[in-house]
Amino acid sequence: MKEFKQPPTHMNAVPQRAAEITAERNMEKTKAMEEKDRKANGARQEEQYSLNDDRRVKVLSPGALVAKRFFRNRLAVTGLAVLIFMFVFSFLGGLVSPYGEKQIFYRTDVTNKEYASVVTNDEYRYASNDPVFSGVALAQSGLAISQDKDAYEYGGVSFQITQEGKELYSVWANGGVVGLVYKDIVNASSDTINENDFDFLYGALKAYAGEEKNFTWQDRSFTVNQDGDVLENGEEVAYISRFIVRSVYEDVVITKQWKTELEEALNDGKTVFEMTDENGDVYEYKISYDAYRKSYSVKQGKDTTVIDTFSSPTAEHWFGTDGYGMDMLTRLMYGGRVSLIIGFIVVFIESFIGVIFGGISGYFGGWVDNLIMRIVDIFYCIPSTPLLIILGAMMDAYNVDPKIRMLYLMLILGFLGWPGIARLVRGQILSLREQEFMTATEATGIRVSRRIFRHLIPNVIPQLIVAMTMGLGSTIILEATLSFLGLGVRFPFASWGNIINAVNDTHVLTSYLFVWIPAGVLLLLTVLAFNIVGDGLRDAFDPKMKR
Amino acid sequence: MGKYILKRLLISVVILFFVAFIIYALMRCLPTSYIESVARQRSMTPGSKSYEEWMAQLAAQYNMDKSIIPGFFGWLGTFLRGNFGDSWKWTVPVIEKFNDVIWISFIMGAISFFFELIIAIPLGIVAATHQNTNLDYAISVVALAGISFPTFFFASLMKLVFSVKLGWFDLFGLVGRNYNQLDATGKVLDMANHLVMPIVTLVVISFGSLMRYTRTNMLEVLSADYIRTARAKGLSEKKVIYHHAFRNTLIPIVTIVGGSLPGLFSGALITETLFGISGIGYVSYQSMIGGDIPFSMFYMVFLAVLTLLGNLIADILYAVVDPRVRIA
DSSP letter string, A40-58: HHHTTTEEEEETT-TTTS-
Average pLDDT over residues B91-97: 86
Residue A227: φ, ψ to 5° = -75, -5
Q: What's the CA gap between B196 and B189, in Å, rounded?
A: 11
Average pLDDT over residues A412-428: 90
Among A248-262, A318-332, A347-361, B236-250, the range with the most confident prediction by mean pLDDT is A347-361
Q: Tell me what pLDDT residue B204 has.
A: 92
Average pLDDT over residues B216-221: 88
Average pLDDT over residues A37-64: 66
Q: Tell me what pLDDT residue A529 has.
A: 93
Residue whose C-alpha is closest to residue A506's, from B219, B173, B53: B173
Q: Tell me what pLDDT residue B319 has.
A: 78
* Nearest Cβ partner for A509 among B33, B160, B273: B160
- Nearest-CA distance from B316 to chain A in Å? 17
Same domain as A192, residue A88: no
What interhelical angle do B2-29 and A366-381 show, nearest 10? 60
Same domain as A90, residue A128: no
Which of these ranges, A242-256, A390-404, B71-85, has the smallest mean pLDDT?
A242-256
- Residue B32 pLDDT class (50, 70, 90 cuts): low
- Please list every residue in chain B whose beta carbon sits closer than 8 Å to the beta carbon of residue A531: 144, 147-148
Q: Tell me what pLDDT residue B118 has.
A: 94
Share of chain A above pLDDT 70, in %: 87
Of the candidates A241, A271, A306, which is a domain's last residue?
A306
Size of interface A-B (CB pairs under 8 A): 121
Same domain as A366, residue A250: no
- Residue A340 pLDDT class (50, 70, 90 cuts): very high
pLDDT at residue A451 greater than cutoff 50: yes
- Nearest-CA distance from A272 to chain B in Å? 38
Same domain as A300, residue A261: yes
Is A234 part of a structural domain of the chain? yes
Q: Cβ(A383)–Cβ(B267) under 8 Å?
A: no
- Residue A36 pLDDT class (50, 70, 90 cuts): low
Q: Tell me what pLDDT residue B293 has.
A: 79
Same domain as A325, residue A417: yes
CB atoms within 10 A of CB B206: 20
Same domain as A395, residue A274: no
Average pLDDT over residues B115-125: 93
Is A55 part of a structural domain of the chain? no
Distances (CA, A) of A290 to A21, A175, A245: 94, 45, 14
Same domain as A283, residue A178: yes
- Please list every residue in chain A whose beta carbon sits closer than 8 Å to the beta carbon of residue B299: 386
CB atoms within 10 A of CB B51: 15
- Residue A20 pLDDT class (50, 70, 90 cuts): very low
For residue A130, what are the domain limits? 117-306
Share of chain A above pLDDT 90, in %: 12
- Please list every residue in chain A whose beta carbon sits closer than 8 Å to the beta carbon of residue B25: none
- Residue A33 pLDDT class (50, 70, 90 cuts): low
Q: Cβ(A424)–Cβ(B59) under 8 Å?
A: no
Average pLDDT over residues A241-254: 74
CB atoms within 10 A of CB A153: 12
Q: Which pairing describes strands A229-232 and A125-128: parallel, antiparallel, or unpaired? A: unpaired
pLDDT at residue B270 greater than cutoff 70: yes
Of the candidates A306, A328, A362, which is a domain's last residue?
A306
Q: Tell me what pLDDT residue B34 has.
A: 66
Q: What's the CA gap between B292 and A127, in Å, rounded?
A: 76
Q: What is the CATH number of the domain that holds A73?
A: 1.10.3720.10
Chain A interface includes B17 (CB < 8 A): no
User: pLDDT tens across A264-288, in order?
Assistant: 777 777 777 777 776 767 777 777 7
- Nearest-CA distance from A286 to chain B in Å? 36
- State if pTM tops 0.90: no
**Cα torsion angle, A93, A96, A98, A103, sign:** positive
Residue whose C-alpha is closest to residue A500's, from A342, A308, A339, A384: A339
B140·A500 Cβ contact <8 A: no
Chain B segment 276-305 residues within 8 A of A by beta carbon are: 284-285, 288-289, 291, 296, 299-300, 303-304
User: pLDDT tens across B47-80, in order?
Assistant: 777 777 877 777 777 677 777 888 888 888 888 8
- Residue B327 pLDDT class (50, 70, 90 cuts): low
pLDDT at residue A461 greater than cutoff 50: yes
- Nearest-CA distance from B289 to chain A in Å? 6
- Summary mean pLDDT of chain B: 85
- State how many domains chain A has: 2
Where helices occur in chain B by DSSP H, the ranges are: 2-29, 34-44, 51-61, 68-80, 94-129, 134-148, 151-158, 184-222, 225-232, 237-239, 246-260, 269-275, 280-289, 293-321
A378·B18 Cβ contact <8 A: yes
Say which residue, A525 or A491, is predicted with more confidence: A525
Same domain as A123, residue A90: no
Q: What's the CA gap between A536 and A528, in Å, rounded?
A: 12
Is A181 part of a structural domain of the chain? yes
Determine if the peptide bond prior to A492 is cis (ω within 30°): yes
Is A362 part of a structural domain of the chain? yes
- Summary mean pLDDT of chain A: 79
Q: Tell me what pLDDT residue A3 has.
A: 39
pLDDT at residue B203 greater than cutoff 90: yes
Of the candidates A275, A306, A337, which is a domain's last residue?
A306
- Please list every residue in chain A whose beta carbon sits closer than 8 Å to the beta carbon of residue B204: none
Chain B segment 163-222 residues within 8 A of A by beta carbon are: 164, 171
- Please list every residue in chain B whose beta carbon sits closer than 8 Å to the beta carbon of residue A516: 153, 156
A382·B22 Cβ contact <8 A: yes
Same domain as A505, residue A527: yes
A510·B30 Cβ contact <8 A: no
Q: Tell me what pLDDT residue A15 has.
A: 36
- Residue A8 pLDDT class (50, 70, 90 cuts): very low
User: pLDDT tens across B140-184, in order?
Assistant: 889 989 988 988 999 999 988 998 888 888 888 887 777 778 888
Burial of B221 (0-12, 13-18, 19+ CB in 10 A): buried
CB atoms within 10 A of CB A474: 19
A408-428 exposure pattern, b = at least 16 Cβ within 10 A, e = fewer: ebbebbbebbbbbbbbbbbeb
Same domain as A487, residue A387: yes
Is A447 part of a structural domain of the chain? yes
B303·A397 Cβ contact <8 A: no
Average pLDDT over residues A380-397: 84
- Nearest-CA distance from B141 to chain A in Å? 8
Q: Tell me what pLDDT residue A35 has.
A: 58
Same domain as A286, residue A355: no
Q: Tell me what pLDDT residue A239 has.
A: 78
- Please list every residue in chain A whose beta carbon sits closer than 8 Å to the beta carbon of residue B29: 394
Is A41 part of a structural domain of the chain? no
- Residue A24 pLDDT class (50, 70, 90 cuts): very low
Average pLDDT over residues A82-105: 85
Chain A, nearest residue to B161 by Cα: A510
Burial of A490 (0-12, 13-18, 19+ CB in 10 A): buried
B105-131 exposure pattern, b = at least 16 Cβ within 10 A, e = fewer: bbbbbebbbebbbebbbebbbbbbbee
Say which residue, A444 or B327, is predicted with more confidence: A444
Same domain as A469, residue A323: yes
Q: What's the CA gap between B272 and B106, in Å, rounded?
A: 12
Which of these ranges, A10-14, A400-404, B194-198, has the smallest mean pLDDT?
A10-14
Average pLDDT over residues A31-43: 56
Is A413 part of a structural domain of the chain? yes
pLDDT at residue B232 greater than cutoff 70: yes
Average pLDDT over residues A309-336: 82
A323-332 exposure pattern, b = at least 16 Cβ within 10 A, e = fewer: bbbbbbbbbb
Is A61 part of a structural domain of the chain? no
pLDDT at residue A14 greater than cutoff 70: no
- Please list every residue in chain A whose beta carbon sits closer than 8 Å to the beta carbon of residue B22: 378, 382
End-to-end CA distance of chain B: 9
**Tell me, what's the ipTM?**
0.86
Burial of B269 (0-12, 13-18, 19+ CB in 10 A): buried
B140·A535 Cβ contact <8 A: yes
Q: Tell me what pLDDT residue A546 has.
A: 44
